[in-house]
Structure 1
Amino acid sequence: MHDTTLDDYSWPTCLAPGCGRELWTAEVEAGRRVCRPCEDRTAARIAELPALFRQLDTTASLMKGARRATNGSSGSRTAPIPPRLDVLNLVGPGGVAARLSAIEDAWRQTLGWTVAPWRGNPAQAVPDLAAFLANNLLWACSGYEEIGQDVDDLRRLHGECVALVNDERRPGRVQIGNCPISVDGSLCWTPLTATAASHRVRCGGCGTRWETLGEWRDLRAAQDAVLAEAAGAAA
């Protein structure tokens, strides 16, 4: 015999922080812990995280070593732009990838699955981590006891990424060194500029383009080689 009266019964509510909506009868019968609208919002956030990460990763790459544009002479030294630590914290080893991995590991342990090995660097790991969470979100919303906290963590992580991406969409231009391309036997050396919203760079002098992160690294290496050669000649 149960001594619980009808007055003592409390209808189950969504565990997602800030929601608290009473679950539908079908949701209760299915044992759900998070309502479908919160699940849908979480799924959308998970789906957007890889693209947001790519945008932040590009921003972090550009900000490293960038220099403020000045109206002074070409030989004047300019102070480096401080790296955006908030951006670097999200794209680095302890950022987006680590936070998604912690949720995946907890889900795998609850399911009795083997914890997945680390998937390369953060840029390689984030899409796979997001795919795992998306594929298993229905299970988590239907019976995982800690899903409320995970939904909140994903909401916060997505919000941090969106806030930083929106802040970087209309940045000022920064100088990123000079063009190291040789044109008709002469060094172009036209000052190059870029924005933190894109890694695409075009030289206004010779028209050379650098449009991928790999080409960005080639540009930086070529600039360093020219400067090293000039320093050696001066010595």
Structure 2
Amino acid sequence: MHDHDPADDGYTWPVCTACGRDLWTDELDRQACRPCEDVTAARIAELPSLFRQLNTTAALMRGARRPGGGSSGSKTPPIPPRLEVLSLVGPGGVAARLRDIEDSWRKAFKRRIAPWAGSPSEAVPVHATFLAMWLRRACEEYESVGQDIDDLRRLHGEMKAIVNDERKPGRVQIGACPGQLEAGLCGQPLTASAASHRVRCGACGSRWETLGEWRELRAAQERVLAEAAGVAA
């Protein structure tokens, strides 16, 4: 228990800068309490995995475009764009927000600050590793760690809410199967989920499991549409 009487005149018991609760006697030399440190450590550990899932979804969105950036001519992309996903995986997203926290800790601990030249997918695990390694010292010494803990909480929450958002449709229509049956074109409606990059046709058994195969699927669907348009003309 506390070994100081909170009723003493002029004395204010130290509190955690992150959650605001009174610190225990063995935490009085800290800026943030141990429970906040433990919860934040768990959140940091999950960030790379959450980012990979968001980045896969964003890659599938980008994979819907024709190589070279031209219009595909199709009204139905494999995965509908989600601006909240693109904002987190792009410039100013997860990587930049983690970098800003890392830079503030490096400055506080008098460590060299160098610009990061890699892609967000390369940067996120590196930033997360640094934050995990220095979290305890930040909780003990860094006066602004409470704000950083709150920023990490909000970032983790945003990412997890998108990954686990059950309010979004589980699957989306991505066009007809271009596979071939004995009787001719398969044409079975295909669906895909943002949670997986694998698509399988239940009618002919055709499968598309990689980003390259997604592009092949789109190209095959466009060929079928072009042939149908030519016949109609």
Shorter-chain TM-score range: 0.7 to 0.9
Q: Aligned residues, how many?
A: 215
Q: C-alpha displacement at 1:39, in angstroms?
A: 0.5
Is 1:203 aligned with 2:201?
yes
Distance 1:15 1:52 in 2: 27
Q: Residue 105 of structure 1 aligns to which amino acid in structure 2? A: D
Is 1:21 aligned with 2:56?
no
3-state SS, counterpart of residue 197 of structure 1? coil
Match of 1:151 in 2: 149
Match of 1:130 in 2: 128
C-alpha spacing 1:122/1:181, structure 2 compared with 1 (3 Å): farther
Contact 1:171 1:196 (C-alpha < 8 Å) held by counterparts: no
Q: Deviations over 1:184-221 (max 9, x none)?
A: 8x765544221222211112343232223444344345
Structure 1 residue ranges without an equivalent (≥5): 1-5, 67-76
Structure 2 residue ranges without an equivalent (≥5): 1-7, 65-73
Q: After the TM superposition, which parts of structure 1 deviate over 6 Å for at least 4 consecutive aligned residues? A: 231-235
Same amino acid, percent of matched pairs: 66
Q: Normalising to structure 2: TM-score of the pair?
A: 0.76
C-alpha spacing 1:223/1:126, structure 2 compared with 1 (3 Å): farther
Partner residue of 1:54 out of 42, 52, 55: 52
Q: Normalising to structure 1: TM-score of the pair?
A: 0.75
Q: Which moved more, 1:168-177 or 1:148-157?
A: 168-177
3-state SS, counterpart of residue 219 of structure 1? helix
Match of 2:81 in 1: 83
Q: Deviations over 1:28-73 (max 9, x none)?
A: 2xx210000000111111111122222222333445687xxxxxxx
Distance 2:49 2:127 in 1: 13
3-state SS, counterpart of residue 191 of structure 2? strand
Distance 2:168 2:112 in 1: 44
Contact 1:65 1:176 (C-alpha < 8 Å) held by counterparts: no
Match of 1:96 in 2: 94
Match of 1:7 in 2: 9
C-alpha spacing 1:214/1:32, structure 2 compared with 1 (3 Å): farther
C-alpha spacing 1:176/1:65, structure 2 compared with 1 (3 Å): farther
